[in-house]
Structures are given as C-alpha cells and as structure tokens.
C-alpha cells in the first residue's frame, strides 16, 4: 500500500464578540470528517452538548481540556443544522450552529476566541499578518527576479531572434527562404521544423500540433545536444503559447550561437513534453 502525503488541515478562527447579537457562530461539518474546536480556557464536559433530540445518532462530542472534538456520523447530513452548546469551566455558555457542508469545505480546526484582544486572538492575528508579509516578500522577490530577467533579455540578441521567429508575420520571409520543412512526430504530438541562420546564430523553429484528444501539451524543456558527445549547447528557448490544447498548434524556437566547428557536424534537437516519450519531439542529425 502507498501512503498519501498528509498536508496541514484547514484552520480558521472565530471571534465571538465580533458576531452580531442576532446571529450565532457557525461551524461547517461533513459526514465522517473530524472537526476540532480549540478554546482559550477549560471546558465543562457536563454542560457541553448538542441540543437536538437524538442528535447523538448523528454526531458525538469528546471534550478534553480546552479541546472539543466533533465526530459526525455518516448520516449527519440528514440534519439541516445542529445547535451546539459549550460551557466553559467558569460557567460561561457559548452557542454555535453546526451547518452541513461538502467534505472539502468542512472545518477541520477552528480556534474560538471571546474577544479580539485576548492573547490567543492577538497571536492568531499576528500569525496571519506574518504569513501575509512572507507571501508579499516572496511575490516581491519573484517580481524583482522577473524584472532583472527582462532587463537582461532587452539587450540579448538570442532572445531578440527567438521573439522575432515566434511571430508569424515577422518570420514569414525567413521560413519561406528555407524551403520545405523537416517533419518529426511522436504518438501525440507532431511538428514541422525549419532551420534559420541569422547574425551568427542558428535557430530551430518548431510548428507544434497537439494531436491528443483530451490533454494539453506543455513544453518542459528544449535542448540542442552534440551528436557525438551528447553535451548540451547553450540555448535560448521561447514558446508561444507554452501550453497547447488538444488539436491546437503553437511555436517553439531554440536559438544558439553557431559553433565554429558546425560544418559537417551533427546535433540532436529535442523538445520534452510533460508525459514521457509520447509527448517528446526529437530531430537527430540536425545541422547548425
């Protein structure tokens, strides 16, 4: 048997003082899905119960210290809603409504706070702010890296040639001068290929067609390998679009500096797709 990885359970918090007087705090539950409610003070097991008659047939409660565990049964969905009464050790009564929901939307963990200024509520707010700050820092770092790449590409002739050849209108005269294209195919993808030499560069232009009936084709990697040593050459790869739907077409361009020893030397030009050999294109015996 193979164990599936277990991720962190969805978690939210409820501040009771922020709920309007005419409303009751809601807990989303699903059949056979365990829900844990965490409180800031000890609970009184004798005063914590579901108020509906025969509700024990559909859900059971376990109280341990500051934790309340709700175990809905397979038939819990038969109840439109359940009313839960929780009594704290100091006698305070708290009311909740349990609403049936889909398993993916059910509450796995709920932290319950009486007021937003309690230590637990402040900690929860601080954790949320920290998580948002970390996400913003990560997004900022990604933006800076993307901006640096754009600045680098602005004066990169390899990128300029690749972008030029991705455009149908701009590249039409270049491709027309090359004559008939080469043809390569695999089980689920087909391509016509042209070789364009320009400004000391060699560029392979792939017109890719996805022949699969249901799955998208996505370019994972493009490479040009030395035919004898299989060493990869430095290559700039651009695709438009990077994901091709079933029956659709797109372009992939690979650009490399033409090696001084390219005469009578052969290479392997490869496009790797997402799902093994049936999605890969390989043109052996290529020239630069």
Structure tokens, 50: 């579901």
| Cβ density class 243-277: b for 16+ within 10 Å, e for less | ebeeeeebbbbbbbbbeeeeeeeebbbbbbbeeee
How many residues are recorded in the chain?
288
CA–CA gap between residue 213 and residue 19 (Å, rounded)? 51
Average pLDDT of the segment spanning 161-175? 85
Structure confidence at residue 3 as a pLDDT band (50, 70, 90): very low
What pLDDT, in 10s, does the model give residues 25-62?
999 988 888 899 999 999 999 999 888 877 666 678 89
Instruction: Select the more confidently predicted residue: 149 or 193.
Output: 193
Structure confidence at residue 6 as a pLDDT band (50, 70, 90): very low
Q: What structural domains and CATH numbers belong to the chain?
A: 11-116 (2.60.40), 161-286 (2.60.40.10)
Structure tokens, 71: 């175990």
pLDDT on residue 10: 64
Cα-based angle 233, 237, 239 (whole degrees, multiple of 5): 155
Structure tokens, 212: 């699969």
CA–CA gap between residue 13 and residue 267 (Å, rounded)? 60
CB distance 14 to 68 below 8 Å = no
CB distance 279 to 191 below 8 Å = no
Q: Where are the alpha helices (DSSP H) in 155-262?
A: 157-166, 168-177
Average pLDDT of the segment spanning 191-215? 91
What pLDDT, in 10s, does the model give residues 244-268?
999 999 999 999 998 887 777 899 9
> How many CB atoms are closer than 10 A to CB 125?
15
């Amino acid at each position: 048997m193979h164990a599936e990885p277990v991720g962190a359970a969805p978690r939210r918090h409820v501040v009771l003082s922020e709920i309007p007087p005419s409303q009751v705090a809601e807990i989303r539950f699903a059949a056979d899905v365990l829900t844990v409610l965490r409180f800031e003070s000890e609970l009184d097991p004798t005063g914590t119960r579901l108020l509906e008659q025969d509700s024990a047939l559909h859900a059971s409660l376990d109280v341990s210290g500051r934790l309340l565990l709700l175990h809905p049964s397979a038939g819990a969905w038969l109840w439109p809603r359940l009313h839960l009464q929780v009594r704290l050790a100091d006698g305070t009564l708290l009311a909740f409504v349990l609403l049936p929901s889909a398993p993916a939307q059910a509450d796995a963990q709920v932290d319950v706070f009486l007021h937003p200024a309690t230590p637990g509520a402040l900690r929860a707010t601080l954790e949320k702010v920290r998580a948002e700050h970390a996400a913003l820092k990560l997004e900022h770092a990604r933006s800076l890296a993307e901006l640096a790449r754009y600045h680098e590409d602005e004066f990169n002739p390899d990128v300029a040639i690749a972008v030029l050849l991705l455009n149908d209108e701009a590249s039409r005269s270049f491709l027309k001068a090359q004559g008939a294209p080469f043809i390569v195919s695999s089980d689920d993808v087909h391509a016509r290929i042209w070789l364009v030499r320009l400004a000391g560069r060699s560029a392979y232009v792939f017109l890719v067609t996805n022949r699969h009936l249901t799955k998208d084709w996505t370019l994972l990697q493009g490479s040009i390998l030395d035919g004898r040593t299989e060493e990869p050459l430095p290559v700039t790869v651009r695709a438009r679009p990077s994901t091709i739907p079933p029956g659709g077409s797109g372009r992939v361009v690979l650009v490399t500096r033409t090696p001084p020893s390219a005469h009578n030397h052969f290479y392997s030009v490869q496009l790797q797709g997402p799902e093994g050999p049936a999605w890969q294109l390989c043109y052996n015996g290529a020239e630069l």
